[in-house]
Amino acid sequence: MSITGNRKGSSSIEPAGTPSHFLRRCNQFFGDLFAQECNDKALTKQQYLVLAALDQHDGASQTTLVEATGIDRSTLAEMVRRMLARGLLSRVRTENDARANTVSITPTGRRALRGARMAAERAERALLAPLPPAERTRFVRSLALIASAADRFPTTGGGRNARKSLLRASGYARRI
């Protein structure tokens, strides 16, 4: 396998051998591990991301949450609606802009976040378990370099700085 994927006879790239394919499979694997650790009932990994973002920036606008989590605007709006119905979040209109909402984490949401945090940490460890211990930190640093390039990329930039500050504040890289 080359770093850009396997080539077929017509010089096309076979997607199954590409780094992007492997990243997607790893993301799917983490989702499965997270769901297993949460007993398939507590939170989805995206709901966990929203709660973790609000834990750092309570009272954030939905736009800020989009930027901090990387979840698209329409998906986030639907997620917030469902999380409001479950009592995990509260939402109020901003004073300055009647079209904008601020979202806060409720005490119920904080309890769910505490349990999900532990599940996420177990899932992260399980995700990296196939790697030799000496390679885990290097692997995460390599992924961080790619993510940093994405933060600087004009079409994906903008709000990605909020996500970087959330990762730094969470101490994620230090826990591995």
pLDDT tens per residue across all 176 residues of the chain: 455 555 555 556 668 889 999 999 999 999 999 999 988 667 889 999 999 999 999 999 888 898 888 899 999 999 999 999 999 999 998 888 777 889 999 999 999 999 899 999 999 999 999 999 999 999 999 999 998 888 787 764 444 454 555 445 444 444 44
Give me the helix-helix angle, 160-170 and 62-69, nearest 10°: 70
Domain spans in the chain, listed from the N-terminal domain onward: 13-175
Q: If we measure between CA atoms, which residue out of 40, 173, 174 comes closest to residue 119?
A: 40
What is the CATH class of 13-175?
A: mainly alpha
Beta carbons of 30 and 127 less than 8 angstroms apart: yes
Q: In this predicted structure, what is the pLDDT of residue 170?
A: 46
Alpha-carbon distance of 112 to 106, in angstroms, equals 10
